[in-house]
Structure formats: structure tokens, C-alpha cells
Structure 1
Amino acid sequence: MKLNSINEDEFVVFPSLPRNVLLSVVCVGFSVYLIQLAHTDRMEMPAAYLVTLILTAGSVILLSAHFPGASHLKLTHEGFEIRELYKSRFFPWDEVTQFVARRRFMGTTVEFTYVHPEIGQAVEEALPTGYAISAAKLLRTMNTWRDNYGDG
């Protein structure tokens, strides 16, 4: 688990490497199985290779989140930054509401509402899943930082 909780000025959480490696291995294993089915005439060859291509591309994207500086969630005194595959979004603490947990089909997400600067309306947003921290701990951490450093 890659966490930076020693520095009190910032808190950084990275994607879970074991989770992403496991998902990638499952995708590659399923791809090998599909190719084997195609070569024994139990599945159409183009369909097997198309699904294999999609699963392999997904595996590469999952693992690329672990390149240096590619993806993280960084909490600072000013706000928090969500970085996904080198694209960053920053949210100041005083512009976000209380963080809440929402149960979804594939797990729990941490969500919040903020006022979008371009449209001036409240927008719901969810933090990315798959960090090396549980959703419950992430929820507590986000609300603690918001309460400590936000104006509200």
C-alpha cells in the first residue's frame, strides 16, 4: 500500500497495484482461454481475437496507472487533486460538500458535490475507485481534511 501519511502538509494515495495486477492477469488468462477456444473451433476466430485485443488494451491501461506521476489522489491544505493517467482536476475544500459513501454494483464509491465554475450549478462527482485504501477509510480521511481545512 503506497500512502504518504507522514507529511502533515499533504496526503497522497496511489492506485492499488495488487488489485490492478490481479485484474490484468484475469483478463490475460481469459484472453488465452478464448484464443484456445477459437483454435479448437469452439468459437469464431475474429470474435476471440477482438475480445482478446480489448481485454489486453484494458490491462495495459490498468497497469499504466502505476507509471510515475500517472495517477494519485493528493490532499493538501488548499484542496485535493485527482490525477488519472496524467490528467489532473483540483477541487478546493471550501467548494465541496460533505463526502458520502454510495453503494454501487461493484463496490462502494466516495461522492461529493461541488459548484461547477463554468455552469455555476452543483454537480455530483465521485472519487475514482481502486486506490490502495478502503472506501471507508478514504471517506473518513476526506471528511477530516475537509473539516480541518475548508471554510464550511
Structure 2
Amino acid sequence: MKQEGKRSLTEARINSKPATIAPSPRLFRLKDGSCVWDILGAEPAGEEIPARTADDQTRYKIHYAFVGGKRHHCVALQVEDRTEGPHDIEWLYVRSYTGGQIRFIKEGDAPEALLAMAEDDAYMFCQNDPCIECAFACKVGFEFYAYSTSEGLIKDEAKIIYSRDRLK
């Protein structure tokens, strides 16, 4: 049971937007055909596979929402497959201010994940649930990735929407 006055682990301990210190991840194909996922900013000896957006490919679109308000803070990810048939998404990744989280998708499961944010990554100016991505830009800097065996690396990022219209 939570003691009165004790802070939640998923509540930010700061009162201003943190700087993004985590590098954007990159995917490389090595000479043997295998792939290396770099999240530390290194330079593997291979060909970089550029991340594609929803505009660069027609099959998948990443949907995201910041949920929970100020005390319990999460990112909900879902990948929409715009074609008929089973998806081939293998994993989802969120790059946050201070690092990132990856979630592997079991065969047959929907390509979705709920990832808890903590400490600086949990910073949120308001109490909206879900976040309305307003002019305060609390979450601008977060990036969302999905890896598809057919489409490669797919990317989206947090935006400023200025409206509740997207929630309808």
C-alpha cells in the first residue's frame, strides 16, 4: 500500500522538460546478412538500413499515445497493418529522453505494447490522460520504432498536435 506523501516510481522527479540524451537508434546490415541494432551511437562495419516513415511505405503505421497522467505514466504503441493477412512485426522500441525500451512481439500476438516511463522519462506538464500533445511539447523528442521483416525499420516521433481532435 502506498504511503501518503511518497512519490510513485513512474512520476517524474523534475519540474521542467528534460534534455534528450539518448541517441537515435540505427539498424545496420552486416556482410553476412545479419542485422545489428545500435542504440549506443557506435559505428558498426555494415550498411545502414534507413528508418522509413508511414509516408515511405504503405503497409504499416505506428500509432502511439501517452497515457496515465502525472502519477502513472506510460506509452501505448500499436502498429496498424493496412493490408489483409498476418503482420510480420518482430519488435517495437521507444526512444525516450534518457534511453529506451524494446518489446518483442510473439508470433500470433498483435503488434502492440504498453511501456511504463519512470524518472525523467515520465515528465509531463499536465494531468491529461491521454496526453493531448499540446504546445508545451512535453514529449517531443520521443521516437517510436517497429521492425518488420518485409518493410524494415519503421519510425514515427512525438509531435505537437495542439488539439483534442485526434482523440476522437
User: Is the structural similarity TM-score above 0.5?
Assistant: no
Q: For the pair shown, which has the larger CA radius of gyration, 1 or 2?
A: 1
TM-score relative to the length of structure 1: 0.28
Q: TM-score, normalised by structure 2?
A: 0.26
Q: Which has the higher contact order (CA 8 A, sep 6+)?
A: 2
Q: Which has the higher strand share?
A: 2
Greater share of helix: 1
